[in-house]
Chains A and B, each alone.
Chain A
Amino acid sequence: AQSVTQLDSQVPVFEEAPVELRCNYSSSVSVYLFWYVQYPNQGLQLLLKYLSGSTLVESINGFEAEFNKSQTSFHLRKPSVHISDTAEYFCAVSEVNNAGNMLTFGGGTRLMVKP
């Protein structure tokens, strides 16, 4: 079975500052990795994913995450945040070749961007 740990439950940051949201996972098999974002009273939206290939993946709104197999991490970063980035961010994994494609989520990190 796999597990996901998001070390920070809340991350306050000023607008235009850089941010890193940490994610570590544990699994006995290869995994796919995802970051989802949840805005207040909304569903989850996929932010970015790592399935294979380059370990650095980027989203269209300036976020990036790097898969580090040796450290079993998939930290999310953005060099300059905006007020509109305020949301809950979830890291998730699913096992490669898992028939059910089940996602295991971390506990979430609330990013609070202040003016």
Chain B
Amino acid sequence: DTAVSQTPKYLVTQMGNDKSIKCEQNLGHDTMYWYKQDSKKFLKIMFSYNNKELIINETVPNRFSPKSPDKAHLNLHINSLELGDSAVYFCASSLGNQPQHFGDGTRLSIL
């Protein structure tokens, strides 16, 4: 199926751990994104990559490091997880100014 796929869907871990979330799109898009949705459903952009290059890096702690090995992948690595990192993280992709397609999200819970 053509889609934006994220793994894992759920991630439960302890404070202080390091974790990664993977994202892949097979839509042939040239731009990929990471968004964070907090417990009040508010969505905020974190990063945007165009053709493997960082375009947008909003005010995000440097514990968060995106990695784009190729145009179809944008992974998110998080170091030293904190309670406030608990959220749903969405990956998205787009081509030019066309609408963004979203993955199903990764629900991160910090114990």
Residues of A within 8 A of B (CB): 32, 34, 36, 38, 42-46, 49, 51, 88, 90, 94, 96, 99-105, 107-108
Q: What are the 8 tightest A-B residue pairs by CB atom distance, in nearest-first order?
A: A100-B56, A100-B55, A105-B43, A43-B104, A44-B102, A43-B102, A100-B48, A108-B41
- Considering the chains assembled together, what is the distance between the CA atoms of A42 and B41 in angstroms? 12
B102 in contact with A45 (CB, 8 Å):
yes
- A-contact bits for B14-27, CB 8 A (1 contact / 0 none): 00000000000000
Question: Could you say which interface size class chain B belongs to?
Answer: 20 to 34
Which of A42, A99, A105 has a CB less than 8 Å from the CB of B44?
A105
**Complex interface: stretch among B59-67, B78-86, B92-100:** B92-100
Instruction: Enumerate chain A residues within 8 angstroms of B94, measured Cβ to Cβ.
Output: 101
Within 8 A of A (CB), among B37-63: 40-45, 48, 50, 55-56
The closest CB in chain A to the CB of B43 belongs to A105
Q: Given contacts A88-B41, A100-B56, A107-B42, are A49 and B48 in contact (CB under 8 A)?
A: no
